[in-house]
Amino acid sequence: MVDDRSIEEILDTIGDQHARHVLAAISRDPKSAKELAEECDMSLPTVYRRIEMLSEYDLVTEHTLVADDGNHYKVYESNFESTVISLQDDEYHVRIYREENLPDRFSQLWDDLHAE
């Protein structure tokens, strides 16, 4: 479950066309902002704004790499497996599934069953 952030904010973020393109691109392989700009046909500032939006909801992670010439640069990758949006009793619920180990998944499933 996503923390106390507004469901509307999360839906707006993943509803943004540019953010979805960025997420799709980094779901396959980690990419730098420059690679994302080229692949998604966006300006670098647009890519950075979307990365910042997605980072606010912990949907992307960043790693610093060192190029052959010694310069540092960041690559971004998706930080979740799937998202489920459901409507129950006139309320939207957003569930973000992340890669977890089996005991954590079982604990979460157990907690979810007892919460209903």
Is residue 50 a part of any domain in this protein? yes
Is residue 54 a part of any domain in this protein? yes
Is residue 73 a part of any domain in this protein? yes
CATH number, domain of 89, equals 1.10.10.10
Give the chain's domain count: 1
Lowest model confidence (mean pLDDT) among 1-15, 80-94, 95-109:
95-109
For 60, other C-beta atoms within 10 Å of its C-beta total 23
Nearest to 82 by CA among 98, 63, 59: 98
112 — pLDDT class (breaks 50, 70, 90): low
Is residue 66 a part of any domain in this protein? yes
Report field, pTM of the whole predicted structure over 0.85: no
The single residue listed with the structure tokens 């079982």 is 106
Q: Which two tokens stand for residue 102?
A: 């089996």
Is residue 20 a part of any domain in this protein? yes
Residue ranges making up the domain that contains 101: 7-115
Is residue 1 a part of any domain in this protein? no
For 80, other C-beta atoms within 10 Å of its C-beta total 16
- What SS3 state is found at 39? helix
The single residue listed with the structure tokens 């997420």 is 23
Q: What is the pLDDT of residues 53-95, one digit of tens each?
A: 999 888 899 999 998 998 999 999 998 877 788 888 888 777 7
